[in-house]
Amino acid sequence: SGSSLIVSFGEMLIDFVPTVSGVSLAEAPGFLKAPGGAPANVAIAVARLGGKASFVGKLGEDEFGRMLADILKQNGVSDDGILFDQGARTALAFVTLRADGEREFMFYRNPSADMLLKPEELNLDLIRSAKVFHYGSISLIVEPCRSAHLKAMEVAKEAGALLSYDPNLRLPLWPSADEARKQILSIWDKADIVKVSDVELEFLTGSDKVDDETAMKLWRPNFTLLLVTLGEKGSRYYTKKFHGSVDAFHVNTVDTTGAGDSFVGALLCKIVDDPSILEDESKLRKVLTFANACGAITTTKKGAIPALPTEADALALING
């Protein structure tokens, strides 16, 4: 398609997921290998919707890294931003499916290849060609990956891209909750578009109320759009001129993995085609209805990547 490029920066990894709920991986009768990593999910979400996406990140030169690079390519994501580390291995996540449906993660990051991406390894021409630059690595805190993150953001911004940030908070990965809050908010004044979940909103503000007043505590003058996703309660939006909420779709939810990434991918796809969406509330509401539909559809199948919708899937849900 002739659409402009969305670059998504961060990690891609494999989740080892038990085939039954309520047990750890060690106790499970079997497991599935589910490719994921929020930034990679966003890139694939964009490509599945017909947009142009590139993933920037580092994989291990091992069977898992090769499998992940193939998955990106098979899903129509450009591979010119993928790097392979000569020494370190691909990141892995070992998932426990709790009986209440929540997931717990244990990570192989020893360090993993994604954490070793150096600023000088970045394909700067690729990053400069992005109209939207999305980031949200769980390794934001780790050097040299943190410096690569900051450099890529700066280069994209200088070249005129819109910067989109999803903190993807995974608390156990951080030395402390205070450190996580501090590090995440330290790049808060750089982004144009920020998406947080209700859980992240509470965590970052220290408030236990998910309301407009709490959301406004996260607002910064550099923002053009702040989004709060609320699972089956839909999403809220805040801009300089207007704010509101858009209801979720009712679907038969089996696994919420990737819903937020699907939502973000859908939103960015529409924004890259028509940035005036950010200035026009009725256009924005229409786009968020679309993004909510994409998020909802992603919850109806197991795993993230297999559950990401096409444009036709989303329109079918919207038009009932």
Interacting stretch for ligand ADP, rule CB under 6 A, among 105-113, 135-143, 180-188, 246-254? Answer: 246-254
Interacting stretch for ligand ADP, rule CB under 6 A, among 6-14, 217-225, 229-237, 276-284? Answer: 229-237
62 in Cβ contact with 89 (< 8 Å): yes
Cβ count near 21 (within 10 Å): 14
Per CB under 6 A, does 295 bind ligand ADP? Answer: yes
Q: Taking CB under 6 A as the rule, which mask of x and - marks residues 187-216 in contact with ligand ADP?
A: ----------x-------------------
In 3D, which of 270, 289, 256, 293 has the Cα closest to residue 41?
256
For tokens 């002739």, the residue is 2
Per CB under 6 A, does 235 bind ligand ADP? Answer: yes
Per CB under 6 A, does 249 bind ligand ADP? Answer: yes
For ligand ADP, the closer of residues 129 and 253 by Cβ is: 253
In 3D, which of 54, 43, 105, 108 has the Cα closest to residue 83?
54
As measured in angstroms, the least distance from the Cβ of 288 to ligand ADP is 8
261 is catalytic: yes
Rounded-to-integer distance, Cα 265 and Cα 163, Å: 13
Q: Which residues contact 20 (CB under 8 A, 6 or more apart)?
A: 28, 29, 97
Per CB under 6 A, does 137 bind ligand ADP? Answer: no
23 in Cβ contact with 46 (< 8 Å): no
Per CB under 6 A, does 231 bind ligand ADP? Answer: yes
Sign of CA pseudo-dihedral 197, 203, 209, 213: negative
Interacting stretch for ligand ADP, rule CB under 6 A, among 151-159, 211-219, 259-267, 273-281? Answer: 259-267
Per CB under 6 A, does 299 bind ligand ADP? Answer: yes
Per CB under 6 A, does 251 bind ligand ADP? Answer: yes
The active-site residue out of 85, 166, 261, 313 is 261
Interface residue with ligand ADP among 259, 284, 304, 305 (CB under 6 A) is 259
DSSP result, 47-94: HHTT-EEEEEEEEESSHHHHHHHHHHHHTT-B-TTEEEESSSPPPEEE
Length of the chain: 320
Per CB under 6 A, does 169 bind ligand ADP? Answer: no
Interface residue with ligand ADP among 77, 83, 218, 248 (CB under 6 A) is 248
Cα atoms in the Cβ-side hemisphere of radius 13 Å centred on 122:
26
For ligand ADP, the closer of residues 64 and 290 by Cβ is: 290
Per CB under 6 A, does 289 bind ligand ADP? Answer: no
Per CB under 6 A, does 256 bind ligand ADP? Answer: yes
Sign of CA pseudo-dihedral 313, 165, 244, 215: positive
For tokens 């964009």, the residue is 46
Catalytic residues, which ones?
Answer: 261
Residues that bind ligand ADP (CB under 6 A): 197, 229-232, 234-235, 248-249, 251, 253, 256, 259-260, 263, 292, 295-296, 299
